[in-house]
Every structure is written in C-alpha cells, then in structure tokens.
Chains A and B, each alone.
Chain A
Amino acid sequence: MNNLSLIRINKVSPYKVVKTPNGDLWFSTIYGVNYSIAFNEEFELGGCMAYQFGIFNKDNCHTPYDANIQTTIVAIINEFFSANHDVLLYVCDNKDRREEARNRLFLRWLKQEDKYGKYCFDTSSAFVEGQEIIVSIIVERNNPQLQDILNEFHVVSQVLGDKP
C-alpha cells in the first residue's frame, strides 16, 4: 500500500491526524476519545489489491454527536484512494449489534460526503462456519477494473452466501 500523506489529510481534517510507528492513523476528539484507522493488505479482487480497514474507538464510549469525526474519517478514506487505486473492505460480524450499526453509520457518512458519486459501494453477507459476517467494499467508480471487482465480489458472495 502506498503511504498516505498526513499533510494532505490534515489540510482538510478538522482533527489532527497522527501516524503510529506501525502505520495506523490516530486522532483524538475534543471529548478526549481516541480513534484509530488501520489498514491491512488482504487479497486481490478483480485484479486490484483489497485492503481491509478498521475504525476503532474505546468500547462503551458514548459522546455527543460530533460531525468532525465523520469529516476526519472521510478525509483519511479520500487520501487512501488518492494514493491507492485499489479496493477497501470493511468487515463486521453479527456477534455485536453495535458493530453492525457502526458499519451502517460509516457507510452512510461516506455516502453523505460523496457528493459527486466518486465511490461505488456494495455489501454482502457471508456464512463462515455458521457465523455471519458482513463485508462491504468501496471502489472508485473510475477504477478501470471496477466491473471485474464487482463481478468477483458477487461471485464470492454467492459462494459464501448459502446458509449452512
């Protein structure tokens, strides 16, 4: 994965984003809540590399609505696609309903900020040893491999979508 530019991110991000030694991106809100955005290279999908990313904050941390969190995370995602014309995977399992809600919230944030329809989204659930996991992909619409990526994602979804 190509390096993400903190300079470009922090030009548009309301919260200052810093990088940890292992490459994760962190920011802290005015309420003192730390957030980590992490990326992990996974596998090829439709001829492009797919990177899983995760958003983590401290469990049970309830704070007032803060639009700056959304804007900061979207700034990081936009920088990912500026530096990497690949695929993002967002994964959650259904053991934690809050996580599922966070998944929906994140995708809603990104769609709200995607005013020019730059991104294509798709979501599927898979059954892995009796456990349902939900996988969302995000790809730039101008990715030359877009159709191959979506086609392969659908094939894999069908393969894994049958309930055991």
Chain B
Amino acid sequence: MTMKCLSKEEWVKKCKQLLEHKTEMEERFKANADTDIYSVFGKA
C-alpha cells in the first residue's frame, strides 16, 4: 500500500505525531539548554 492510499484521518494522525515528535526533540534540548556542551559532549 502506498502512502497515497492513506485516509485523511490517517494523515491527520501522522501530522499530530509530527508535532509530538517535534515537542520531544525540543524537550531534549530544554533539558540541557544551559549546558557547557563542549565540556560535557566534547572538547571545542
């Protein structure tokens, strides 16, 4: 089945997932937003 066969409801679900995943990515950033990244994750 190609993605073109998906119904509108299924695409709406996928769009909602996109927004959820974006929030998850942003939350990961916020959790470490003030980190000295070069000390923690690698030397500059």
Decide if A160 touches B18 in the complex (CB within 8 Å). Answer: no
Q: Which of A42, A54, A56, A152 is within 8 Å of B17, CB to CB?
A: A42
Give the CA-CA distance A27 to B29 in the complex, in Å. Answer: 12
Among A14-22, A104-112, A115-123, the one that faces the other chain is A14-22
- How many pairs of A and B residues are in contact by the CB < 8 Å rule? 92
Interface residues on B, range: 20 to 34
Interface residues on A, range: 35 or more
Decide if A128 touches B25 in the complex (CB within 8 Å). Answer: no
Instruction: Supply 15 A–B pairs (Cβ within 8 Å), ascending by A.
Output: A18-B37, A20-B37, A20-B41, A22-B28, A42-B18, A43-B3, A52-B25, A54-B25, A56-B29, A126-B11, A128-B15, A129-B16, A133-B19, A156-B4, A160-B15
Decide if A56 touches B25 in the complex (CB within 8 Å). Answer: yes
Residue in chain B with minimal CB distance to A42? B18
Interface of B toward A, CB cutoff 8 Å:
2-4, 8, 11-12, 14-19, 21-22, 24-26, 28-30, 32-35, 37-38, 41-42, 44
